[in-house]
């Protein structure tokens, strides 16, 4: 696991975007269409903004790329502005100039949710798998909506949100009661199949979760800790989110001494 400690959220976004762009360009170089896994929430917004700038400046072309979102609420009406289908359209598909028919979100509106989950797994397979997965982390250590005690091998399925996650996400709704109780989410096994994982986190509120993900034991109680088993995971955090890390100085020293070929150049 690579741990990169940045000054602030904007630098986290710039570094994560450069990393995603590097993977995308390598895939495109061998004549393939890149598949990007995308997350909702506040954490990746700086990454999307930096990616949008690369697209705008002509340094990155995602017009043939596909995207797969991690999760979707169950129980919101179609077209609800906080449904992840809408959030991904606004924050990812449009600014990154991606084709809307290539941007996928689990169908949390389906009558048959189990079938929708199976179809989503198949769609990811059919696209050739995810090349690079962008992740945030919940304050309780969840990735996607894989709440504590999720199977480390899980696939896309229906989950129940914890009270803490519902409270965290209440800021997006008029009243806390409006936050749905259920969701469809890629499983931890699904996420682990991505060829690269890039987790971003900023702010003191994420310090405990980041410590658990990076340095804690691998445990379903902190689902993001499964990334310790991923062969190509990069965790990019600001100083506040890094503040509980025991080996912070080591990560900084490692980054300062990276050989050029391993360095991600900020765009």
Site string for ligand GLP, 46-75 (x = CB under 6 A): ------------------------xx----
State how far Cα 182 lies from the chain centre. Answer: 19
The answer to the question of residue 197 lying near ligand GLP (CB under 6 A) is: no
Site string for ligand GLP, 120-159 (x = CB under 6 A): ----------------xxx-----xx--------------
Site string for ligand GLP, 233-252 (x = CB under 6 A): --------------------
Give the whole-angstrom CA distance, residue 109 versus residue 67: 19
CB of 32 to ligand GLP, least distance (A): 26
Catalytic residue among 142, 193, 230, 238: 142
Residues of this chain, 98-117, that bind ligand GLP according to CB under 6 A = none
Catalytic residue among 9, 11, 71, 121: 71
Give the CA distances from residue 190 to residues 64, 76, 123, 239, in Å, rounded to whole numbers and listed in that order: 23, 24, 12, 30
Q: What b/e readout covers 212-225, taking b as 16+ CB neighbours within 10 angstroms? A: bbbebeeebebbbb
Respond yes or no: is residue 104 known to be catalytic: no
Contact (CB, 8 A) for 4 and 47: no
CB of 28 to ligand GLP, least distance (A): 26
Residue with smaller CB distance to ligand GLP, 27 or 147: 147
Respond yes or no: is residue 33 known to be catalytic: no
- Token digits for 198? 């890039």
Contact (CB, 8 A) for 211 and 245: yes
Q: Which of 12, 35, 43, 51 binds ligand GLP (CB under 6 A)?
A: 43
The upper half-sphere exposure of residue 213, i.e. CA atoms within 13 Å in the direction of its Cβ, equals: 33
Q: Which of 41, 108, 187, 223 binds ligand GLP (CB under 6 A)?
A: 41
> Tokens 């929430």 label which residue?
41
Residues of this chain, 10-39, that bind ligand GLP according to CB under 6 A = 39
Residue with smaller CB distance to ligand GLP, 71 or 121: 71
Catalytic residue among 9, 72, 121, 147: 147
| Other residues' Cβ atoms within 10 Å of the Cβ of residue 133 | 30
Calculate Rg over the CA atoms of the chain: 17
Give the whole-angstrom CA distance, residue 134 versus residue 130: 10
Contact (CB, 8 A) for 12 and 237: yes
Judged by CB under 6 A, the number of residues near ligand GLP is 14
Q: Which of 42, 115, 160, 253 binds ligand GLP (CB under 6 A)?
A: 42
Respond yes or no: is residue 114 known to be catalytic: no
Contact (CB, 8 A) for 202 and 134: no
Task: Give the footprint of ligand GLP on this chain (CB under 6 A).
Answer: 39-43, 70-71, 136-138, 144-145, 165, 169
Active-site annotation, residues: 71, 140, 142, 147
């Amino acid at each position: 696991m690579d741990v990169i400690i940045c000054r602030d959220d904007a630098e986290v976004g710039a570094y994560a975007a450069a990393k995603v762009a590097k993977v995308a360009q390598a895939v495109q170089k061998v004549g393939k269409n890149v598949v990007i896994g995308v997350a909702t929430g506040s954490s990746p917004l700086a990454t999307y903004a930096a990616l949008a700038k690369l697209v705008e400046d002509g340094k990155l072309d995602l017009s043939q790329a596909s995207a797969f979102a991690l999760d979707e609420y169950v129980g919101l009406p179609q077209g609800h502005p906080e449904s992840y289908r809408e959030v991904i359209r606004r924050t990812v598909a449009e600014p990154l100039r991606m084709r809307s028919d290539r941007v996928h979100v689990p169908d949390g509106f389906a009558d048959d949710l189990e079938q929708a989950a199976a179809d989503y797994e198949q769609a990811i397979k059919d696209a050739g798998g995810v090349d690079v997965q962008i992740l945030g982390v919940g304050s309780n250590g969840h990735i996607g909506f894989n709440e504590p005690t999720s199977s480390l091998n899980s696939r896309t399925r229906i989950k129940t949100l914890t009270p803490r996650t519902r409270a965290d996400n209440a800021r997006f709704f008029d009243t806390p009661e409006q936050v749905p109780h259920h969701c469809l989410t890629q499983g931890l096994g699904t996420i682990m199949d991505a060829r690269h994982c890039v987790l971003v986190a900023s702010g003191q509120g994420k310090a405990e979760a980041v410590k658990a993900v990076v340095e804690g034991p691998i445990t379903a109680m902190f689902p993001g800790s499964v990334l310790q088993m991923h062969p190509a995971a990069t965790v990019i955090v600001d100083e506040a989110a890094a503040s509980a890390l025991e080996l912070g100085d080591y990560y900084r020293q490692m980054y300062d001494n990276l050989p050029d070929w391993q360095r991600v150049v900020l765009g």
